[in-house]
Amino acid sequence: MEPVVQIDDLVVRSNAAVAVRRTRDAVAVPTTQVRLKRILGDLTGTFVLRSTTSAVLVGVESGWAPDAATTRVQFVDGGKRRLVTTQDVLTAAGELYFADMTVEAGGKLYLPSTTAVCNITMSVSGSVFGAETLHVCQNSQTSASISTTGCKDPTAENFNSAALFSDNSTCYYGGVRGCTYTVASNFDSIAEVNDGSCVLPAGLTAGCAYSAASNFDGNDRLDDGSCTFPNFGFL
C-alpha cells in the first residue's frame, strides 16, 4: 500500500519548511508519495523529501515564466501613451521555482521529460528520475546540479538518453505492468509486463531455470526469460 496525495500547487513561503516524511507504520505502509503540478515559493521556503518518500511533479501544459516580463511604452493616436507588458510563457511541463528543495538519501523525485528550474537551491542525495531536458536558470539565485536516473534500455518506451545513472527497473515496454508470476502472492491476472514487484514464496527467486543455459547457476529458479544458450552452430 502506498498513500498518494495529489496537490495542484505547492507554495512554500515565509521561511516555511515542508517535508514529506515516512509513515509511522513502515511495515504496512512502506512508502509515501505526493503528486504535484508545480512547486513555487518566495525564495525563503524549503521543500524536503525524506528517505522512503517520493514526489511526482506531474507538471502543467504551460505557465508564466518568473522575471520574464517586458514592459514598454506604446504611443497611440492623439498623443496618448500606453504601457504594454509582454509575459513569456514556459514551454516546460514541470516548474520548480522560488522554493529550495532537498532530496535526502532514499528520497525520490520524478520529473516530467522537460522541466524548468529557476531561483532555487537544489540539493540531491537521493534519486531524480524522468527529466530528459532541464532548463536551469543561469543566475546567482539558482544553484541546482541534477544528475538524472532513468531507463537506459533503448527498446523501452521511456528510454532516457539523457539519464546519467541507469535504473532499468523503471523501464516501460507497453501493456499493463504488474506481477506476472502465478506462484506469487501478489499475482496480477491482468498484468502483461512484469514490473519486478512479485512477492515469491520463501526460497524461490527469479532467474534462469534451464540447466542447458550458459548462465544457469544450479539453483532452482522461476524462469524470468534471462537464460542465454551456447551457439551450437551447425552441429
| Between 187 and 37, residue with greater pLDDT | 187
The whole-number average pLDDT for the span 120-149 is: 81
- Asked if pLDDT for residue 234 goes beyond 50, the answer is no
3-state secondary structure of 85: strand
Cell of 28: 504496512
The whole-number average pLDDT for the span 135-161 is: 80
Lowest-pLDDT choice from 42-56, 88-102, 166-180: 88-102
Candidates 169, 41, 32; CA nearest to 108 is 32
Tens digit of pLDDT for each residue in 4-49? 567 777 888 888 888 887 766 656 656 778 888 778 788 888 889 8
Torsion, Cα 57 175 179 166, to 10 degrees, reads: -50
- Asked if pLDDT for residue 66 goes beyond 70, the answer is no
Report d(CA 185, CA 61) in Å as an integer.
Answer: 40
3-state secondary structure of 165: strand
pLDDT value at residue 235: 40
Domain spans of the chain, in order of start: 4-63+89-173, 174-203, 204-235
Candidates 122, 8, 138, 143; CA nearest to 67 is 138
Residues 6+ apart with CB under 8 A from 146: 117, 122, 124, 128, 131, 134, 136
pLDDT value at residue 1: 37
Q: How far is CA 224 from the centre of its chain?
A: 26
Report d(CA 32, CA 200) in Å as an integer.
Answer: 24
| Between 234 and 58, residue with greater pLDDT | 58
Question: How would DSSP label each residue in 129-141?
Answer: ES-SEEEE--STT
Tens digit of pLDDT for each residue in 147-156? 788 888 887 8
The whole-number average pLDDT for the span 208-212 is: 79
Q: What are phi and psi of 221, to 5 degrees?
A: -135, 155
pTM reported for the whole predicted model: 0.55
Q: Let me know if 80 is exposed, middle or buried by CB neighbors in 10 A (0-12, 13-18, 19+).
A: exposed
CA distances 186 to 191, 207, 225, Å, are 11, 18, 20
